[in-house]
A and B are shown apart, each in its own frame.
Chain A
Amino acid sequence: MKGYRKYFLNKLGWFLITFVCAFLLNFILPRLMPGDPVAAIVSRLAQGMSNTAGVQAIYEQYSTLFGTNKSIPEQFIIYVGNVARGDFGFSFSQYPRTVADVIKSSIMWTIALQFPAIIVGWIIGNSLGALAAYLKGGFDKALMPLSIFISNFPPFGMAVIMMVIFGVNLKWFPTSGGYGFDLIPSFTWEFVWSAIVHYQLPFWSIVLIAIGGQAIGMRSMAIYELNADYVKYSRFMGIKDRKIVGYVFRNAMLPQITGLALSIGTMVGGALVAEIIFSYPGLGSTILTAVRGQDYPLISATTLIITMMVLIANFLIEILYGFIDPRIKAAQSD
């Protein structure tokens, strides 16, 4: 455990640095853009208001709320203070709900959907890719073009097709929402069952997309490892095939874990759009409502939360990787 300390501290340092940078970007990017966001908001709110003094009053109220009448560094301090308290202000499109409230009600849906889907997709994809590399022949010939095709299919396209086949035509699963429209979230059997049924289509469409990409990566890694010298050497030594395959896949797996850490951001992006297709009550749909309602505080907060989730997931995978890869342990004991 002791040997890992340097590795963990290094990773933790990176995590903090990226976090700060992401936070800064989230703050600066919208403010770099031309135009006054408050003016845009006011013109939307004050539609049909002919009283200039009234419009002026609204404008001033919102400038104080966002602090746009202060200098950028001051705004930043206010922003940091607010975020630290979990206060993202009010949502425009869903006023009088606060942004924190909107996000609180959607974040669990996203985590419960995407986290298992990506993990399951990763596991199935890697197993299939490894099998394809090992078995070769017909299985490989059939699986590879299919995986390439699926992984190139846009995530939203997979969602639409799954929905049309299983939701609209076969009517096996409901086509939209996270639970029955006539239910209120609660821990009753009826609600839980309804949530499970609504879960299937979004879940499997995300899984399918993940499988394709992972299978291709794993296959080429495994082929590369199977041709490595240590495999030939082990064969000459008379080590059983099964044992060699174990070594090979362990080695081929390691880059795949790093790959997962690096691609998790892209996967989440695709999955968010898939959520929108199914009107799943997660963060994806929240972004959509925010964009449609020109809800500036909600967008800013949602993007921050998603970035945070991706960074944390990334950090956790890196930590896990530290335990799995023996080279890291070896490097620490030098």
Chain B
Amino acid sequence: MKHTLQQIFRSGKFVFGFSIFVGIVLIVLIYPLVIKDKPLDIVAQGTFFEPGIYVSVYDSLNATPYTLLLDDAAAKRLESRLPEEDSLAMKEWLVAAGVPDAEIDTTNTAKLLEQWVNNFDSKKNLPGMTNAKRNYYIRLNNSLSGLLSTEGAVLARKNPQTGALEQVKIVNQTDYVNVSQVSNVRILPLGTDNFGRDVLTEIVHAAKVSLQIGLLAGLIATLIGLTLGLLAGYIGGMVDDIITFITNLFIVIPSFVLLILISFSIGQDKRGATTIAVVIGLTSWVWTARAVRSQVISLRNRDHVNLSKLSGHSIFHIILTDILPYIASYVVMALILQISSGILAEAGLSILGLGPRTTEFPTLGLMMNWALVYQAHVLGKWWAYMPVLVTIALITFSMNLMNTGLDQVFNPALRD
């Protein structure tokens, strides 16, 4: 046993896959201890907020201001207020109005604005310009006024008696706050999803639930497959015929179809994560049963098994001590594959709208489904679906790597 483990951990593929997997499991276990938010709490009003650090505007007004004199502050401010298409449109107008093309540099916002202020005239009628376009320029011009001012913004408070606004404070352009002194800062490393929930918190919990679903489904499938395979292979005869018949049936009837049919029939109300896991397990034991059977048949007439039989051991004892150890490696490999395919099956079902009903914990499939239903992929909101895909891929990839590693340890013919 110890020797086998040593051998396994000498396989690069296995170790690599194993470390990814352990990493995922550790994150899934430790993250909820540190950040205790509920995964499905709606924190944002609105859909798909970009990943980033969200600083409370109100609280930063009350935080101690510091004056920093930075040279490029004004230019940066201008740039963020003036999108590229607007500056290109400004250039277009200026060129049409007779300013030489070479003098205009759209990347130098300050100079461009200066030229604009000097030249723009809303009454000027350029040839070939539609009315809509002219109105657009007038709007643009209005939005630009004040951009170049160096005065601060005035904060006012409403007087409860008179209703008049009273000046409280002036926020200068050179005022800065230290983010650590602002009382409310929320970091959303992966933004929010379509319902306004923190994607990172959600995905960690979802990965946990999906792993549990996969594990339960895999265990059920492997147990059924192992039992049937052992019975069919070792006892043989009538039992073998019946089990082989059933296995051959279910191997061609697509399990995905059975999954859809059963999950739909169970109904939305009764479809919890456990139910889904059980259903997946019940529909995916076939391959294990088949493979275990053929291995047991090849073991059945080995000398040590015959000796055990002659010594009068019970069938149960023979299976446990003389057969199981020989197929244990295979069973473990099958279990790993079943877990990863269970996770994929859950995700597929959820995309079809047949995923587990949830009030507290999401699953990876459900998150994918929400993102797809709200068209995150078309809208370019990558943070809503990409992390989910990467998580699923990492889990299944790490498991298959472990599996390939084990395969190479136990089947020397496959070694490089």
Interface residues of A (CB under 8 A from B): 14, 17-18, 21-22, 25-26, 29-30, 32-35, 40, 148-149, 151-157, 160-161, 163-164, 168, 175-176, 220, 223-224, 227, 261-262, 265-266, 268-270, 272-273, 276-277, 287-288, 291-292, 296, 299-300, 303, 306-307, 310-311, 314
Provide the main secondary structure of the chain B interface.
Answer: helix
Residues A175 and B378 in contact in the complex (CB < 8 Å), given A32-B265, A154-B396: yes
Contacts of A262 in B (CB 8 A): 251-252
B82 at the interface (CB under 8 A from A): no
Taking residues whose C-beta sits less than 8 angstroms from the other chain, chain B's interface range is 35 or more
Residues A18 and B413 in contact in the complex (CB < 8 Å), given A34-B270, A154-B347: no
Contacts of B262 in A (CB 8 A): 29, 33
Residues A288 and B340 in contact in the complex (CB < 8 Å), given A29-B258, A269-B254, A311-B253: no
Q: Which of B371-415 contact A (CB under 8 A)?
A: 372, 377-378, 380, 382, 385, 389, 392-393, 396-397, 399-401, 404, 413-414
Give the residue name and chain of the A residue nearest to B389 (CB). A157
Please state if B256 and A272 are interface contacts (CB–CB under 8 Å). yes
Residues A273 and B351 in contact in the complex (CB < 8 Å), given A22-B253, A164-B382, A265-B252: yes
Please state if A224 and B413 are interface contacts (CB–CB under 8 Å). yes
Give the distance in Å from the alpha carbon of A153 to the alpha carbon of B348 in the complex: 12
Query: Would you give the shortest CB distance from A39 to chain B, in whole angstroms?
Result: 11
Q: 9 A-B pairs, CB-CB below 8 angstroms?
A: A14-B248, A18-B248, A152-B400, A153-B397, A161-B389, A266-B254, A266-B255, A277-B372, A303-B261
Query: Would you give the shortest CB distance from B368 to chain A, in whole angstroms?
Result: 7
Give the residue name and chain of the A residue nearest to B393 (CB). A153
B257 at the interface (CB under 8 A from A): yes
Please state if B397 and A148 are interface contacts (CB–CB under 8 Å). yes
Contacts of A227 in B (CB 8 A): 413
Contacts of B401 in A (CB 8 A): 148
Give the residue name and chain of the A residue nearest to B256 (CB). A269
Give the residue name and chain of the B residue nearest to A314 (CB). B252
Give the distance in Å from the alpha carbon of A34 to the alpha carbon of B254 in the complex: 24
Please state if B256 and A265 are interface contacts (CB–CB under 8 Å). yes
Give the distance in Å from the alpha carbon of A296 to the alpha carbon of B372 in the complex: 24
Please state if B377 and A276 are interface contacts (CB–CB under 8 Å). no
Please state if A30 and B265 are interface contacts (CB–CB under 8 Å). yes
Contacts of B258 in A (CB 8 A): 25, 29
B127 at the interface (CB under 8 A from A): no
Contacts of A307 in B (CB 8 A): 253-254, 257
B136 at the interface (CB under 8 A from A): no
Query: Residue B396 contacts which of A25, A152, A314 (CB distance < 8 angstroms)?
Result: A152
Please state if B353 and A291 are interface contacts (CB–CB under 8 Å). yes
Contacts of A220 in B (CB 8 A): 414
Please state if A223 and B414 are interface contacts (CB–CB under 8 Å). yes
Q: Which of B257, B351, B368 has the most CB of A within 10 A?
A: B257
Give the residue name and chain of the A residue nearest to B368 (CB). A156
Give the distance in Å from the alpha carbon of A272 to the alpha carbon of B265 in the complex: 20
Please state if B261 and A29 are interface contacts (CB–CB under 8 Å). yes
Please state if B257 and A269 are interface contacts (CB–CB under 8 Å). yes
Query: Would you give the shortest CB distance from A138 to chain B, in whole angstroms?
Result: 13
Give the residue name and chain of the A residue nearest to B287 (CB). A262
In addition to A148-B397, A220-B414, 15 A-B residue pairs with Cβ atoms within 8 Å of each other are: A18-B248, A18-B252, A25-B253, A149-B393, A151-B400, A152-B400, A156-B347, A156-B348, A273-B352, A292-B353, A307-B253, A307-B254, A310-B252, A310-B253, A310-B254
Query: Residue A268 contacts which of B254, B353, B397 (CB distance < 8 angstroms)?
Result: B254
Please state if B348 and A163 are interface contacts (CB–CB under 8 Å). no
Please state if B378 and A168 are interface contacts (CB–CB under 8 Å). yes
B31 at the interface (CB under 8 A from A): no
Give the distance in Å from the alpha carbon of A81 to the alpha carbon of B13 in the complex: 56
